[in-house]
Amino acid sequence: MPITSTTTDELLAYAGLARVCEPPATALSQFVTREGPVAAWRAVIERRAPRPVLAGSAARVADLSWDDARRQAEADLLDAAQVGAELLTPADPAWPAAAVTGLAGAVARGVTGAAPPLALWVRGRLPVRLPADGVTIVGSRACSPYGRRVAGELAADLAARGRAVISGAAFGVDTAAHYGALMARHPGGQPATVAVLACGIDRAYPEANRELLDRIAADGAVVSEYPPGTRPARHRFLVRNRLIAAFGAGTVVVEAGRRSGTLSTAAAADHQGRLVMAVPGPVTSALSAGCHLLLADRFAHLVTGADDVLTALGGHRAIEPALFPATDATGGVSGARVLDRPGSDPHHPTDGLDADTARVYEAFPARERIAVAELVKESGLVAPTVLGALAVLELHDLAERQGHLWRRCRPGRRPVTGSGGPSGPAVRSADPPPRAQ
């Protein structure tokens, strides 16, 4: 398939830049704004860009020639075109400029990990007025029938009243929200629903949602800031969450456990001056505990349906957010951690690790062994940082070296005190499922 007439040097430059940086790329984003995409791309590939910019791209630029970079960018545009996707750039009239303003504002206020996307791969079409006409709906993948019902009805009611639903593509609340919006449709024929991916636009994750993603692309939009082929990884979900929050005037959390990754979307929404809302549920359900924390601490407005959401948004002007503290580089984790209460929950393997080490841990594939060079590319961190992180992970039994390759380990569960009970002594598994959405 030939590259379309919209293929320009700028388009190639954005595709090339997207390939060599790992979002969120704060320094690069500012550099592109200052120098323009074409000059910025060349400066990056030729390693002439300022040091903070190079630091974010060095891992993937390493020994990339200018010709290789150009071929890769062309290939990415072709790969995208083959799944019906285009690269939307800030120069495009359809660029959601108003939606990403909140991200720029967050960056200006010193929030780390809030950089706007350089460009967006899009299948389908975005609603014209974002974030004004969008409402973000997020919640647990493993939601209850209650959460599924509430998400579906809320999305359907919002779509029927002219709002587009913004969500991820996970099972549970995301899926229920998209189906609800698709069934109701937008009365004005505008796109009713938008899915923002944490992987390449040409991938379906989870695979079982491939058909849903096709339907969303046909009636609305599937969006990603990652180049084609990018695999989903935990840190990408957290980074992606800032875009889910950005595209809606407000974010509604339908169901979320105490440590749900969903809470990072709430934090991101708050950082961008978006309204945070939560749906209460039975206090006997652990799946509503995260919503109740948001409500109890008055981070979130309580909403029970579309009427409440529209009323709350009607009375909401984007404000200087002050509720959540600034996040770390993974785009919201430390914000969400504020909501943790001591002794309330089991630990996550990366608890207590610094952001870089956690990012390397999450860069591991689920089952396979991986070379350091691959980890460098996958994490977007430079080799010395990755090696330092591996040493820390090895020390904590979270990774082990096997010849020239490394594999991730699941930390052993603590044996039950005074018993040789079912959880027994430390057990390792190489397959920790991704947790965050």
Q: With respect to a copy of itself, which residue has the nearer C-beta, 322 or 395?
A: 322
Interface stretch with a copy of itself, choices 103-111, 195-203, 288-296, 419-427 (CB under 8 A): 288-296
Which tokens go with 189? 């024929």
CB proximity list for 197: less than 8 A, separation 6 or greater? 168, 169, 203, 205, 222, 223, 224, 226, 232, 240
Q: For a copy of itself, which is the closer residue by CB, 5 or 284?
A: 284
Q: For residue 292, state whether it binds a copy of itself (rule: CB under 8 A).
A: yes
CB closer to a copy of itself out of 291 and 389 = 291
Determine if 283 is a binding residue for a copy of itself (CB under 8 A): yes
Judge contact between 82 and 1, C-beta under 8 A. Answer: yes
Site membership for a copy of itself, residue 315 (CB under 8 A): no
Residue among 57 and 288 whose Cβ is closer to a copy of itself: 288
> Contact region for a copy of itself (CB under 8 A) — 115-123, 294-302, 383-391, 393-401?
294-302
How far does Cα 15 stand from its chain's mean position? 19
**Contact positions with a copy of itself (CB under 8 A) in 116-155:** 146, 149-150
Choose the binding region for a copy of itself from 6-14, 123-131, 233-241, 291-299 (rule: CB under 8 A): 291-299
Question: Applying CB under 8 A, which of residues 97, 296, 366, 416 lies at the interface with a copy of itself?
Answer: 296
**Is residue 258 part of the contact set for a copy of itself (CB under 8 A)?**
no
- Would you list the DSSP string of 348-408? PTTTT--HHHHHHHHHS-SSS-EEHHHHHHHHT--HHHHHHHHHHHHHTTSEEEETTEEEE
Find out whether 24 and 113 touch, Cβ atoms under 8 Å.
yes
11 touching a copy of itself, by CB under 8 A: no
**Residue 36 or residue 282: which is nearer to a copy of itself going by CB?**
282
- Tell the smallest beta-carbon distance from residue 295 to a copy of itself (Å): 5
CB of 40 to a copy of itself, least distance (A): 47
Closest to a copy of itself by CB, 36 vs 305, is 305
Pick the piece of the chain touching a copy of itself (CB under 8 A) from 71-79, 301-309, 368-376, 401-409: 301-309
Q: Which of residues 162 and 280 has its CB atom nearest to a copy of itself in the complex?
A: 280
Count of chain residues binding a copy of itself (CB under 8 A): 21
Interface with a copy of itself (CB under 8 A), residue from 305, 352, 424, 425? 305
Residue from 160, 302, 323, 392 binding a copy of itself (CB under 8 A): 302
Distance CA 275, CA 315 (A): 10
From candidates 27, 233, 303, 390, binder to a copy of itself by CB under 8 A? 303
**CB nearer a copy of itself, residue 298 or residue 367:** 298
Using the rule CB under 8 A, which residue among 284, 402, 417, 419 binds a copy of itself?
284
| CA nearest neighbour of 277 among 130, 160, 136 | 136
Q: Helices 372-379 & 51-61, crossing angle to 10 degrees?
A: 130
The enclosing H or E element of 98 equals: helix 97-108
Q: Which residues contact 118 (CB under 8 A, 6 or more apart)?
A: 14, 17, 18, 21, 23, 25, 28, 29, 32, 37, 225
Strand order in the sheet with 399-402: 370-371, 405-408, 399-402
With CB under 8 A as the contact rule, which of the stretches 126-134, 156-164, 286-294, 397-405 interacts with a copy of itself?
286-294
Intra-chain end-to-end CA distance of the chain, in Å: 34
Q: Which is nearer to a copy of itself, 114 or 306 (CB)?
A: 306
> Which range, of 27-35, 58-66, 198-206, 273-281, touches a copy of itself by CB under 8 A?
273-281
- The H or E element spanning position 224 is strand 221-224
Amino acid at position 29, single letter: S
Q: Does 319 bind a copy of itself (CB under 8 A)?
A: no
281 touching a copy of itself, by CB under 8 A: yes
Q: Which amino acid is present at 229?
A: G
Q: What is the closest distance, in whole angstroms, from the C-beta atom of residue 177 to a copy of itself in the complex?
A: 15
Task: Based on the shown chain and the rule CB under 8 A, indicate whether residue 425 belongs to the binding site for a copy of itself.
Answer: no
- Cβ distance 294 to 266 under 8 Å? yes
Q: What strands, in cross-sheet order, belong to the sheet with 164-167?
A: 85-88, 120-124, 221-224, 193-196, 164-167, 134-138, 250-253, 275-278, 301-302
- By C-alpha distance, which of 352, 378, 354 is closest to 364? 378
3-state secondary structure of 97: helix
Q: Which residues contact 174 (CB under 8 A, 6 or more apart)?
A: 137, 138, 139, 141, 167, 168, 195, 437
**Chain positions contacting a copy of itself, by CB under 8 A:** 146, 149-150, 279-284, 288-289, 292, 295-296, 298, 301-305, 308
